[in-house]
Amino acid sequence: MSELIISALPTLLQGLGITLLLSVAAIIGSTLLGLLAAVLRTSGLPVAKQIAVLYTELFRGTPVLITLMFIYFGIAYFGYEINLFAAGILGLSIYQGAYIAEVFRAGIEAVPKGQWEVSWILGLSKRQTFMNVVLPQTRGIVLPPLVGQYLSLIKDTSIVSMIGMSELMHQGQAIVDRIGQPVVIYGLVSLLYFAVCFPLSRWVQHHQTRSQLS
Amino acid sequence: MSYQWLTLWRYADTFLSAAWLTLQVTLIAFALAVALGLISALAKSSPLALVRWVSHCYVEFIRNTPVLLQIFIIFFGLPSLGITMSAFTAGVLALGINVGAYLSETFRAGIQSVPKGQLEAAWVLGIPRRQVFMSVVLPQAARAVWPAIINNLIQLLLGTSLLSAIALPELTGTATVINARTLLYIQTFSIVTVVYLLFSNVFSWLGNVAGRRMFHPALVTSKKRTIGWCPKKWLSNSVKGGNS
């Protein structure tokens, strides 16, 4: 068994590298998208707000697998080609962005409205108010659930294997297809995912209880 | 354009039975998840260290690995240990175990939200422990975390799409089969998306209705899961509420 593990480990670690790369790219994409959607939703601009609501409700009510397939096969359907890696980043960013938008919205709405008015009286522009007054205050409320969403994003990267991306999950499957031993290989794969996710989830738990106590 | 939809109309029965299968898996797995979650939440406050440890390991392992991997371990891994099961059973088991771990944390948060003084008061009144749990703690705990429970149900519904990986003909699996036959990707995925949206919105609507009727005082959730073009007065609701 140890021989099996030693021979499988390099391939799995390579897969883990791709998983991490995909995760980081999608974390950046989904955070930007989520922040944009949250700003539009709380902005009060009639059409922009409606679009943001439609976006969050649409993706929070459909599976991530459908989103990924829609992007990957849908773009091919219209005769364009999209790189698998790009489709994965795009799909995960759009999907998690919808959840992250709700996280940011809760944070923005927790800041009292009076502060907007005070900033206006002090002569700050809307942009300045948002960037320098509102956003810094949301940190404590937003950060724990935000990292929680990153955690589920990292786990969701395994679903990109279903459209053929060779990340950690897919590499594990490939090894099982070749030499069998599903229990050992999938056990190893879960340990690798666990090693990445566990520290993050501990961090989230710690900070959640702290913010609840205060 | 219209002939494409006519082509798909031939598959109406297939879509319907797929939707029914998705619903079945969701509900059976959720029943399992509630049972597992409740047992695991109670086990965490057990006097036996071993019981607490097992529950802790269960929750941490499940919550920190992808659900797709858990499905694969149950469907492809267990047969090599001599346990074989159908895709349906494996799917229900995997999703039930997965969501059970999340529910365990939800239930525990709910139980902890009940003030300790009430337990002491119940003890002073001489009410048996079992009855205290069933009629004092549980109703209040359920009310405190009701929206989170409904969210877990919706996450389970969305998770059933992954069972297409073990060839269960639920909505997503059926969509890929019909795609392979008709090549109408956009149309097929649109139909399936609408069905998922319908299910998840119906679940959350039922959850809100049940929350208002079942608990005392009635639970009014500020968070609405409605699609973009809903009346304006619903939208202002979510701004006023400031969900935490």
Residues B107-132 pLDDT 10s: 999 998 999 899 889 889 999 988 88
A86: left (phi over 0), alpha (psi -120 to 50) or beta: alpha
Per residue of chain A (214 residues), give pLDDT as tens. Answer: 788 888 889 999 999 999 999 999 999 999 999 999 999 998 888 899 999 999 999 999 999 999 999 999 888 888 888 899 999 999 999 999 999 999 999 999 888 888 888 998 999 988 899 889 988 888 888 999 999 999 999 999 999 999 989 999 999 999 999 998 899 999 999 999 999 999 999 999 888 765 554 3
- State the residue range of the domain holding A29: 2-213
* Chain-chain contact of B68 with A63 (C-beta, under 8 angstroms): no
pLDDT of the residue at A80: 86
Domain count, chain A: 1
User: Does A4 lie at the interface with B, CB-CB under 8 angstroms?
Assistant: no
Q: How far is B243 from chain A (nearest CA, A)?
A: 6
* Chain-chain contact of A183 with B225 (C-beta, under 8 angstroms): no
Q: Which amino acid is at B217?
A: P
The SS3 call for residue B10 is coil
- Nearest by CB to B161, from A65, A186, A189: name it: A65
Q: Does domain B2-241 have CATH number 3.30.300.10?
A: no
Q: How far is A110 from chain B (nearest CA, A)?
A: 7
> Which residues in chain B have their CB less than 8 angstroms from residue A69's CB?
172, 175-176, 185, 189
Q: Which amino acid is at A171?
A: Q
Cβ within 8 Å of B, A 43-82: 49-51, 53-54, 57-58, 60-66, 69-70, 73-74, 76-77
Q: Which of these, B52, B135, B148, lies nearest to B109 by C-alpha position?
A: B148
User: Does B14 lie at the interface with A, CB-CB under 8 angstroms?
Assistant: no
The region of weakest confidence among A83-87, A182-186, B5-9, B177-181 is B5-9
> Which residues in chain A have their CB less than 8 angstroms from residue B61's CB?
190, 194
Average pLDDT of span B166-193 = 92
> A1, A22, A39, A69: best mutation site toward chain B, by most B Cβ within 10 Å?
A69
Structure tokens at B74: 């149950």
B86: left (phi over 0), alpha (psi -120 to 50) or beta: beta
* Chain-chain contact of A49 with B235 (C-beta, under 8 angstroms): yes
Question: Measured between alpha carbons, how far is residue A26 from residues A95, A185, B150, B183 in Å?
Answer: 10, 26, 27, 29
pLDDT of the residue at B197: 95
> Which residues in chain B have their CB less than 8 angstroms from residue A197's CB?
63-65
- For the cut 50, the answer to whether the pLDDT of residue B204 exceeds it is yes
* CATH of residue A82: 1.10.3720.10
**Ranges of each domain in chain B:** 2-241
- Nearest by CB to B69, from A158, A183, A201: name it: A158
Structure tokens at A109: 């709405």
Q: How far apart are CA B52 and CA B40, in angstroms?
A: 8
0.90 exceeded by pTM:
no
pLDDT of the residue at B133: 87
* Chain-chain contact of A58 with B158 (C-beta, under 8 angstroms): no
> Which residues in chain A have their CB less than 8 angstroms from residue B65's CB?
155, 190, 193-194, 197
For B208-217, the pLDDT digits (tens) are 999 888 888 8
> Which residues in chain B have their CB less than 8 angstroms from residue A153's CB?
none
pLDDT of the residue at B235: 43
Give the count of Cβ contacts less than 8 A between chain A and B.
Answer: 139
Sequence-ordered list of residues with C-beta below 8 angstroms from that of B183, at least 6 positions apart, any chain: A77
Q: Hey, which bits of chain B come out as E strands?
A: none
Are A160 and A68 spatial neighbours (Cβ–Cβ below 8 Å)? yes
